[in-house]
Structure formats: structure tokens, C-alpha cells
Amino acid sequence: DFDNIIDNQATQDFILINPNSFSGLCLILLYFNTNSMLGCMIFKQKDCGIFSAWIHGDPRKVVYPTDSHGQFCGQKNSPNANKAILFYFNMLKCANPAVLINLQCPTTQLCVSKCPDRFATLLDAWNTQNWGYYEQFCKPGFKIGTLEVIRDEDCPSMIVPSRPFLQRCFPDFITRNGTLTVANQTIFKDGENNKRSVTDLKDAATGLSSLLNAKEVGMKIFEDYANSWYWILIGLVITMAASLLFILLLRYTAGALLWLIIVGVITAVAYGIWHCYWEYSTLSRAPCANMTFSDIRLHTDFSVYLHLSQTWLIFMILLSVIEAIIVVILIFLRRRLCIAVALLKEGSKAISYIMSTLFYPIITFLLLAICITYWAITAVFLASSGNAVYKVTPADDKCMYANLTCNPKTFNQTNITKVCPGSQCLFAFYGGESIYHRYIIVLHLCNLFVFLWLVNFTIALGQCTLAGAFASYYWALKKPNDIPACPLYSSFSRAIRYHTGSLAFGSLILSMVQMVRIVLEYLDHKLKGSQNIFARYLLCCLKCCFWCLEHFIRFINRNAYIMIAIYGKDFCTSSKDAFFLLMRNVIRVAVLDKVTDFLLFLGKLLISGSVGVLAFLFFTHKIPSFQVEVPSLNYYWVPLVTVIFGSYMIAQGFFNVYAMCVDTLFLCFCEDLERNDGSSSRPYYMSPGLVCINLQDGCTS
């Protein structure tokens, strides 16, 4: 019974515990095992599912480039340990940078220790003293002077000045006076001693110039961070202090801020009405004052309609209706607004007694970092779980065996080399033909679903923990003396020990809806060029419906977690109780929700904007007192954007705690009104300020 839950002598025992929800942790572990078992059942293999990626996967395939023989470049304790860069024999055969980066360029690829720094051809190198330099870009163990050297691509037919990017040798493009050059040259000789333009290389590596420039920009950005990290940290510390100060001051300024905003809105709308009337009266006395919309044709220039008195009359009527609606709403909801303000003040007071809650977002951040790391590592293992696949690469396009899978060990024993002279069996990509490899995309989707579930579970754990801490404040009859010691730690312990099942179940429902939304977004992306209007309309409707469903579930889950933290009941019961409790106080919910959201948005905007302006003045040498301390920067916007973004995220973390506090106190307030009547036998647990506001509102138990 709720009346027996709270004891003045031991308020720390006010929460009912449901021991059956201890199975929640087992539920999450069971899901991981079930996922792997389901994979085994589908693929009928001994080791499969998402976790088989940790067996089949090899992150080296992502970290190191792979040459034509499937060997990693730069891997320690291997023949290529000192050859960390991949070199392409004939760059002209590569169509675009995507082909290069995906290791599918139809030319021999070799691991080298450094990229070439000069123009040269194989024919010229044989007859000059440059052969010693040129030889390092040939396959080891080839025989010099044979005709098969060029045909079999034992050596590159030409080399061009290059520099490493993404551990691969790309032409060293430099734009001088608007002209694209390589090593200050615009013309070079190819392997057949034909003169070619540098633009041919550009066509074979479209977009590489911008990518290489991006690397240079990245180095400058890194340098800016190295020079300004100290001042960035100072800006973020200022944000933390300002956020904390803003939350604590809401205890005294929430009412003034709210009414100041309301008066400002009413005044702005009233000024709009006056301005519309002034424009209407002015245009009514002007020539052609009787012109209407029907007298002029349809115009795309909106300013044409501003010269009609009828336009301003319509604006004036619309603003008058809006003003009347605002005034009527304020008249009928003025007491509800007082309750919202009182709860905001009470939330600020609760945080001042439980200051540790403001730092709980750090724990949430660390847990989310673990979730992201798990997802990313698993995705890498999945992406690298294939075997090396080799394809026939012919010397020309007439070979009938082109792009067929081959085995490099037995390739020379087949008749392919006879039918297609000069063809090679080169590494193409990582993959496979097994059922496991064919369904790799399904495993990626499973990994994504696990990621969504873990992220939502982490957020749910934080909401339940904070709700339990703030509920312990509300149900303390004599505040702050009856507040239990370490309320945040106690609430976190209860959530981990007893409520993981409920939190995991609520997170599962939300993750399923989010997964459907991701699939719908993917389908919408694929159907953008479709001419089927009905399919696109249906998809748009589904996206809208599931967007609404996700936000509704988020709202229900948030309040369900609060009820779980108070009573310890299961998720379904808590969701039902929270929903009907909110529906019995729907007007208060709407008013409190909008008032809280607006004030917190104003606070985030004020704090991040103020810190951003201060950072702008500092990094642009606009503050005379700090001229000497300003670091030398390549781009002043690098630390500026970092400070603004970091300030907003810090303010978001602080204000999320405050919003959870207000929501928890509101549900406790509604429960208090329904369970108690303020008598000596059933006293209210709300603070005296809320009692006064409640009596003015005419609320009864």
C-alpha cells in the first residue's frame, strides 16, 4: 500500500522492489546468445551469427592496404613490414578514386616503402642510369630484359611523381596559376613513349586533388587544436559553471523569466496589429485603394501584395485572433502556469540538495562510448570477415575470362594464359561464396539493432537512476533532513539490481520502431528516382506515422521509467499507470511540458551563444586584455566551433538532468494529490510552496 510505503523515520525504504525484474540483465545476455544461435540455425554452421565475425574477421584487412597477391602492406613481422604504401603500376587504368580506395583498379598493385618522386618509363630506365631507382617498383625476382616484363606487368610501364594518401600512392597534383601540374609539368610520356597530358591522370583520379588538399587542411586543423586546447577547455569549464548557475538561479527567476516572455509575446503581437492597421489606413487613402486580389494576376514576387490594403487587413485580423487566443488561454491557464513555475523552482531546489545528479551524464557518456566502440569493432570484424577473392585481369577487353574468380596458385597451369596472353590473377576484394558471406548484410543489420538497443538501454538506465534520486527528495516529509544519504548511488544500485528487465523491455520496443524507421529511410533513398507516385506517397505516410510512434513511445517510456523508479513495478504496469495519471492531468502536462522546454531551450541558447561570442572575441584578438595570450592559429573557426558545439552539448547534459527532475517531481506531485488530502493522517509530501499553489488552483484529492 502506498500509504505504508513512506515512513518518516526511514524514508530511504519508501520504494517497493520487484525482485522478479532481476532477470533483466539475463535478458540482455540471452539476446546476444540467441542472436548467435539464430545465425547458426539459419546458416547451419558451427560458428556463425554476429559473434562469428570475431572468429572470421580480420581488422588487418581494414588497417593495411592489400597488394595483388593478397599480402598486407606495412604489417609487422612480414616481408612487407617496411613497405607500408600501396603502389599502382598503371594509374591510367584506374577510372576514379572510388576504384582505387576499394582496391579494384585493374592493374598490378605492389607494396613499396616510398612513392616515386620523378617521371620515368620502363624503356628509358633500361637504357639509363635510373634503373637502380626504377627497379624498386618492380616485382621481386623478375628477369630483366625479357618481353614478358611489360606483358605480365612485372614492372610498371611508367612512374609518375606521387605522394602517399590513405597509404596509397596518388599523383602529386599541384595547381599553379590555375593550371594543373605534376612536378611542375603538364606533359609526360606513358609506357609506349606517347606524350600524354596531366589531365589524363586527373581523369583517372577525379577528385584526388581536393582529397589531398583536405589532408593538408586536416593537418592545419590538428595544429590549431594542439595550440588552443587549453583555451578550449577553459571555455567548456565556463559553460559548466554557467549551466550550473542558470539551473540554481531558476529557483528565484523562473517566474520572472516566464512572465517576462509572456508579456514580450503579447506586446510583440500587439505591435504587429498596430503596424498592420497603420499600413491599412495609409494604403486606404492612397490612389487605387480599391484594388483587391482579384484585380491583379498571380505573382511570384510577394512584395506586390504588400501594396494592397486588403493584405494588411488580413494580417491585422489574423494577428488579432492570435492575440485573443493567447489572452484567453492565459486567463484560463494562469493557475496552471503558476504550478509549472512552482515545479521549476522546486526542481532547482532539488538539484541544489542532490548536486551529484548533475555529473551523472558523464557516466551515461562513458557507457555510450562503450556501446559505440562495441558496435564499431563488430562492424569492422564483419566487414573484414571475408576471404581474399582473386579475379582474372586481362591485358585487353576481349578476353572471355575477364573478371572470373581465379586461384593465383594454379592460375599459370590453366589455359587462361594461353587464350588471353598477358592476363593475370590479381587480388580484387574480400568476400566469399558461403551462406555466411551471402548473408553478411543481415548480420550488419543485427549488429545495428544491438547497437540501438544498447544505446536506448543506457539512456533508460540514466533516466531511471535520476528519477529514483529525485523521487527520494520529493517523498522526504521533512526536507532536506529526511533525504536519504547518497540518493543517486542508491537509485543507481536499485536500477541495476532490480529494474534491468523493465528497462531492457522498454528499450527493445523503442529500438524496433527505430529499426523500422531506418529501413523506411533506406527505401525512400532508393525510391527517390522512382516515378511511382503512389509508392512514394505511401512511404512518406509510413515515415510520418513511425516518426510520431517513436516520439510517443519515447514519452511513454520516460514516464514509465519514473514510475518504475518510484514503485518498482514491471514496465507494462508502470506504463499504464503513468499514462492514465498523465491523462487525468493532461492540461497540467501540456503547460508544464511547453514551459519547461521553452525555458531550457532559452537557457541552452543563452549559454552556448554567450560562450560562443566570448570565444569569438578572444580568438579574433578583440579583447585588449588578452591580446598576448591568444595562440597563433591557421583557422580561428576551429576552436570557435569546438567551443560552441561543446558548450551546447554540456548545457544539454545539465538541462536534461533538470528536465528529468521536473518530470519526476510532477508525477510525484500528481500522485501526492491523489493519495493524500493534506490532513494530519495523510499529509502532503510536497513543499509548502507547492501546497499554496495547489490550494489556489482549487485542486482536491
Q: What is the pTM of this model?
A: 0.69
In a domain, 325, yes or no: no
Burial call 7-20: b when 16+ CB within 10 Å, e when fewer: eeeebbebbeebee
Residue 151 lies in a domain: yes
SS (H, E, C) 109-168: EEEECCCCCCCEEHHHHHCCCCHHHHHHHCCCCCCCCCCHHHHCCCCCCEECCEEEECCE
Q: Which residues contact 339 (CB under 8 A, 6 or more apart)?
A: 588, 591, 592, 690, 693, 694, 697
Going from the C-alpha of 451 to that of each of 270, 359, 463, 506, 581, the distances in angstroms are 51, 24, 19, 15, 32
8 Å CB contact between 456 and 556: no
- Name residue 214's amino acid: A
Instruction: Report whether pLDDT(195) > 70.
Output: yes
User: Do the domain assignments include residue 342?
Assistant: no
Q: Which helix (H) or strand (E) holds 179?
A: strand 179-182
**Share of the chain residues as helix, strand and coil, in percent rounded to the nearest 5:** 65, 10, 30
Q: Is 174 helix (H, G, I), strand (E, B) or coil?
A: strand
Question: Pick from 449, 403, 392, 456: which is nearest to 425 by CA?
Answer: 392
Look at strands 168-171 and 195-197 and give their pairing. unpaired
Residue 408: inside a domain? yes
Is 156 part of any domain? yes
Q: How many C-beta atoms lie closer than 10 Å to residue 251's C-beta?
A: 16
Among the candidates 408, 431, 454, a domain finishes at 431
Contact of 308 with 292, CB cutoff 8 Å:
yes
- Alpha helices, H only, 384-532: 416-419, 435-438, 440-474, 487-498, 500-526
Q: What pLDDT, on the 0 to 100 scale, is given for residue 559?
A: 93
In sequence order, the 6+-apart residues with CB closer than 8 A to the CB of 529 are none
Q: Per mean pLDDT, which range of 150-154, 297-301, 384-388, 496-500 is the poorest?
A: 297-301
State which residues form the domain around 425.
387-431
Q: What are the phi and psi torsion angles at 179 (to 5°)?
A: -110, 130
Residue 37 confidence (pLDDT) above 50? no
Work out the average pLDDT over 8-15.
36
Task: Give the pLDDT score at 460.
Answer: 93
CA 469 to each of CA 222, 463, 475, 492: distance values in angstroms, whole numbers, following the listed order: 41, 10, 10, 8
Q: Which of 42-56, 71-85, 131-145 has the lowest mean pLDDT?
A: 42-56
Q: Which helix (H) or strand (E) holds 88?
A: strand 85-88
318 or 335, greater pLDDT? 318
Instruction: pLDDT band for 9, please (50, 70, 90 cuts).
Output: very low
3 band by pLDDT with thresholds 50, 70 and 90: very low
Per-residue model confidence (pLDDT) at position 694: 60
Beta-carbon count within 10 A of 332 CB: 10
DSSP H helix total and E strand total for the chain:
21, 13
Q: Write the single-letter amino acid at 331.
A: I
C-alpha to C-alpha distance for 473 and 662, rounded to whole angstroms: 12
pLDDT band at 552 (very low <50, low <70, confident <90, very high): very high
The C-alpha cell 572468429 sits at 55
Contact (CB, 8 A) for 590 and 582: no
Contact criterion met (CB below 8 Å) for 539 and 597: no
Distance in angstroms (rounded) separating the CA atoms of residues 218 and 210? 12
- DSSP for residue 486: S
**pLDDT over 60 (residue 169):** yes
Q: How many CB atoms lie within 10 A of CB 240?
A: 17
- The residues, any chain, with a CB within 8 Å of residue 387's CB and separated by 6 or more, are 430, 431, 432
- DSSP notation for 575-594: HHHHHHHHHTTHHHHHHHHH
Runs of H (alpha helix) within 527-620: 533-567, 571-583, 586-619
Rounded CA-CA distance 231/463 in Å is 33
637 vs 271: which has the higher pLDDT: 271
Least confidently predicted of 343-347, 354-358, 659-663: 343-347
pLDDT (mean) for 305-317: 81
Sorting pLDDT into bands at 50, 70 and 90, what band is 145?
A: low
- Count of domains for the chain: 2
Which pLDDT score, from 0 to 100, does residue 74 have? 83
CB of 633 within 8 A of CB of 219?
no
Q: Is residue 416 domain-resident? A: yes
Please give the residue that has the higher pLDDT: either 648 or 144: 648
- Any residues with CB less than 8 A from the CB of 607 and at least 6 apart, and which? 239, 242, 243, 246, 647, 651
- Residue appearing with cell numbers 532547482: 348
Point out the least confidently predicted range of 156-160, 294-298, 347-351: 294-298
Residue 679 to residues 304, 669, 673, Cα–Cα distance (Å):
68, 16, 12
| Position 252 in a domain | no
Q: How far apart are CA 21 and CA 564, in angstroms?
A: 11
Q: What is the dihedral of CA 478, 480, 482, 488, to 10 degrees?
A: 140
Of the residues 413, 431, 449, the one at which a domain ends:
431
Please tell me the distance from the alpha carbon of residue 391 to that of residue 407, in angstroms, as a whole number.
8
pLDDT category at 542 given cuts 50, 70, 90 is: very high
CA-based nearest residue to 237, from 659, 646, 658: 646
**Which cell numbers hold the place of 530?**
522512382
Crossing angle between the packed helical segments 571-583 and 586-619, to the nearest 10 degrees: 100
Question: Does residue 550 or residue 638 have the better pLDDT?
Answer: 550
Which 8-state DSSP code applies to residue 185? B
Task: Examine residue 130 and state whether it is found in any structural domain, yes or no.
Answer: yes
Any residues with CB less than 8 A from the CB of 601 and at least 6 apart, and which?
Answer: none
* 536 vs 542: CA distance, rounded Å: 10
Lowest mean pLDDT among 140-144, 467-471, 552-556: 140-144
pLDDT tens, position by position, 201-217: 766 655 444 554 565 67
Query: What percent of the chain stands above pLDDT 90?
Result: 10
Q: How far is CA 575 from the centre of its chain?
A: 28
Mean of all residue pLDDT scores within the chain:
77
Last residue within a domain, chosen from 172, 200, 228: 200
Estimate to the nearest angstrom the gap between the alpha carbon of 232 and the chain centroid: 22
**Radius of gyration over every alpha carbon of the chain, rounded to an integer in angstroms:** 35
199: cell is: 589531365
Q: Looking at the predicted structure, is the pLDDT value of residue 320 above 90?
A: yes
Please name the amino acid found at residue 93. Answer: K
What is the pLDDT, as a whole number, of residue 617? 85
pLDDT digits (tens, 9 = 90+) for 221-243: 777 788 888 888 898 899 888 88
Question: DSSP secondary structure string, 381-447?
Answer: HHHT-SEEEEEEE-SSTT-TTTT-EE-TTTGGGSTHHHHSTT-EEEEEEEE-SSHHHHTHHHHHHHH
**Range with the largest mean pLDDT of 143-147, 360-364, 410-414:** 360-364
- 116, 165, 593 from 169: Cα distances, Å: 8, 6, 57
pLDDT digits 0-9 by tens, 459-517: 999 999 999 999 999 888 887 788 888 899 999 999 888 888 889 889 989 999 999 99
Length of the chain as a residue count: 701
3-class SS of residue 426: strand
**Predicted local confidence at residue 491, as pLDDT:** 92
| DSSP bridge partners of 111 | 86
